[in-house]
Amino acid sequence: MKTQYQYIIYLLLGTTLVSGLSSCSDYFLNVDPTQSISGNTIVVDQNTAETAVLGVYSALQSRLYYGGDGYAAMAYLSGGDHIWVGTLNYYNAFPVHEYRADNTLINNVWYDIYKVVNGANNVIEKVAALSNESITADARNKFTGEAYFLRALSFFDLAKAWGNIPVVLQATKSPSDFSGVKQSDQKTVYAQVLKDLDQAETLLPATVDRNRVTKNTVYALKAKVYLYQENWDKAIEYATKVIGNTNYELVPWSTILGGLNTKESIFELAFSAADQSAHFGSWSSLSYRNQYGPGPEVYQFLQQANVGGDRKALITDNSTATIRNYFIQKLYWRSSGDNPTYILRLAEQYLIRAEARAKSAAPDLQGALSDLNAVRRRANVSVKVLSNKETLLTDIEQERRAEFVLEPHRWFDLVRTGRASTVLGVTDQRKWIFPIPYNDVEVDADLVQNPGYE
């Protein structure tokens, strides 16, 4: 009988590389979305190489990763601004921070993120093996660079959530391939993320594509990783590369809410009516109170005159005398399910640079204030004035809460800044990272459970 771990490995082998291309949107893919090859099929030329890359993007779109109610839900519900109104208890563990190693959502999300890692590893290895006659140099570089970026993003997300993770750099070809791969601590994982991004930066074109990775996408993720590393100078350097690019600009919130691929967007995942995002079906809507929704405190937070501005439109109150705290989000409002998922957008680059400028060894408080106010002006709220560094940093934290109220940032922001205890009351710092899935720890002698979850 196969162990659970072996079963997961066999699933990875059979599904990860390029499965599910029908789940990629028409405006996302450049090849026929019905094309697919199994994980065991050899990549033989440029067309099949691109199909393999698109399969990795497809895995990124999984509902349990960036598609709607998996990784994002863990962050939403842990961050204190959203409430669970569904019936599945393993989701309700996150608002109260009582998740266990056998939590179903934790297990499923971990598995789906590693599917992206394995798909990227397959692309890196198989594209490298192609002859020069079967693929152009530009295509080889592009596909390989995309794979390095997607692997970096996956490792970054895993490290943010679980801290100590196995860094798997080879494609999985047999159930024993993970044998001997120990966990790396969070700092080591971040170093590997940057190593992958360095590789991607040398390979990718300096073009603009809001649905596929380019050099500009790499710059944006590098700025974010450097922020998490507290390498303020590098965070400023890479955020500035994006902010200074005229292909990106802060656009009105009405444009974001009604559009696709706006100039605000650096990297968004595309969906369609045939390939629906799980976001709309997971959030409560006007017609149905579903799994989760904004809580009353964050609704009131956005209603403040000096906070919400145009962002008030992101949440509406649908409460009645019989149904209390029934709030509806409007970022993923399209019932057709073709709303995008934003992974990187320009406002975050401004707020990354603002925080880094304020925290650098030689603080640039006026520069930080200017970046903060650029985001506030776009939201049509009053600008802040400078009083002192501590107040400015609080203003930046609060601006991130308002700006990304429906994006999965707040929990990870409060953890990385050490503020989860003060703001959320999560005094046990062991709960700031999630447990390694029980099944994996049980069958893999190389895995060690995170402290506090023995």
pLDDT in tens, 25-55: 333 333 332 223 334 447 999 999 999 999 9
At 363, the pLDDT band (50, 70, 90 cuts) reads very high
Q: What is the pTM of this model?
A: 0.92
pLDDT at 293 over 80: yes
H or E element, residue 292: strand 292-294
98 or 334, which is more confident?
A: 98
Model confidence at 17: pLDDT above 80: no
Average pLDDT, the chain: 90
Where residue 409 falls (left for φ over 0; alpha for ψ -120 to 50; beta otherwise) is alpha
Question: Which token pair is 334?
Answer: 């399209």
The residue with greater pLDDT, 361 or 180, is 361
- Those residues whose C-beta lies under 8 Å from the C-beta of residue 137, and which sit 6 or more positions away, are none
> Which DSSP helix (H) or strand (E) runs through 220?
helix 215-229
pLDDT at 128 over 70: yes
**Sole residue written with tokens 């397959």:** 122
User: So what's the pLDDT on residue 31?
Assistant: 32
Helix, strand, coil distribution of the chain in percent, nearest 5: 50, 5, 45
Q: What is the pLDDT of residues 60-88, one digit of tens each?
A: 999 999 998 899 999 999 999 999 998 88
391-421 pLDDT, tens digit per residue, is 999 999 999 999 999 999 999 999 999 999 9
Per-residue model confidence (pLDDT) at position 29: 39
Q: Which pLDDT band, with edges at 50, 70 and 90, does 21 fall under? A: very low
The per-residue pLDDT for 337 is: 84
pLDDT tens-digit series, residues 344-360: 999 999 999 999 999 99
pLDDT of 369 strictly over 70: yes
pLDDT band at 24 (very low <50, low <70, confident <90, very high): very low
- Average pLDDT estimate for 86-102: 94
3-state helix/strand/coil string of 15-60: HCCCCCHHHCCCCCCCCCCCCCCCCCCCCCCHHHHHHHHHHHHHHH
Nearest to 16 by CA among 47, 50, 64, 58: 58
Model pLDDT, residue 62:
95
Residue 175 confidence (pLDDT): 61
pLDDT score, position 304: 97
Q: From CA 451, how far away is CA 266, in angstroms rounded?
A: 36
Written as one string, the DSSP assignment of 359-394 is: HSSS--HHHHHHHHHHHHHHTT-PPP----HHHHHH
- CA atoms within 13 Å, Cβ hemisphere of 238: 23
Is residue 193 packed enough to be buried (19+ CB in 10 Å), middle (13-18) or exposed (0-12)?
Answer: buried
| CA–CA dist 55, 119 (Å, integer) | 7
What are 302-334's pLDDT values in tens digits?
Answer: 999 999 999 999 999 999 999 999 999 999 988
Fold classification of 44-269+339-419 is 1.25.40
Tokens of 289: 């109170």
pLDDT of residue 179: 74
